[in-house]
Amino acid sequence: MNEQAESNLKWLGKLTREYQKELDQVLIPLHLNSSNYYFIMKIHDHGRLPQEKLVALTGLNGSNVTRTVQKLIDQGFVVKEKNEQDRRGFLLALTSVGEKIYDQVVIAVKKAQAIFYSKLTVDEQKIFEQLLGKLVEN
């Protein structure tokens, strides 16, 4: 690997850690973190959904999703229900506590993003998001 590629990977890793750190800080009062808040958002946005769909939406492997979902169940944010259409599977839904915390999660994420983007102008933020989107397109 050439020096430029190593440098780019280093910066991408650093950016990821910095953003996760900001998210972790703003999510502490909600008893969530950068690894699990996204599940609350996806379940809210998609309603009751099979766990397999959550795996697809998050891009994580099934065992990581299972562990994280179980933690959210233990915290009272998520409930697992039998799937009447597929008796082998389960549907995930937010509890009333999970529904109530959703708006706070959205606010916390916006706050973390504002902190993360604070070094960029509004135009630079738009360009940054466009470039990231372009890099992850399939």
Do the Cβ atoms of 112 and 41 come closer than 8 Å?
A: no
Question: Could you give the number of structural domains in the chain?
Answer: 1
pTM of the model: 0.82
Tokens representing residue 95 in the block: 């509890």
Closest by Cα among 87, 118, 85 to 18: 118
Q: Residue 7 sits in a domain of what CATH number?
A: 1.10.10.10
Give the DSSP per-residue string, 98-136: HHHHHHHHHHHHHHHHHHHHTTS-HHHHHHHHHHHHHHH
Tokens representing residue 98 in the block: 């999970």
Tokens representing residue 90 in the block: 């389960």
Q: What's the pLDDT at 4?
A: 66
Question: In angstroms, rounded to a whole number, what is the distance separating the alpha carbons of residues 61 and 46?
Answer: 19
Tokens representing residue 113 in the block: 């993003």
Q: Which helix (H) or strand (E) element contains residue 92? A: strand 90-94
Give per-10-residue mean pLDDT for the chain (138 aa).
Answer: 73 91 96 95 94 90 94 97 82 96 96 94 95 84
What is the span of the domain harbouring residue 62?
A: 3-136
Note the residue count of the chain: 138
- C-alpha distance from residue 44 to each of 38, 111, 113 (Å): 10, 20, 20
* CA-based end-to-end distance of the chain: 23
Residue with the two structure tokens 């800080």: 25
Q: What's the pLDDT at 8?
A: 78
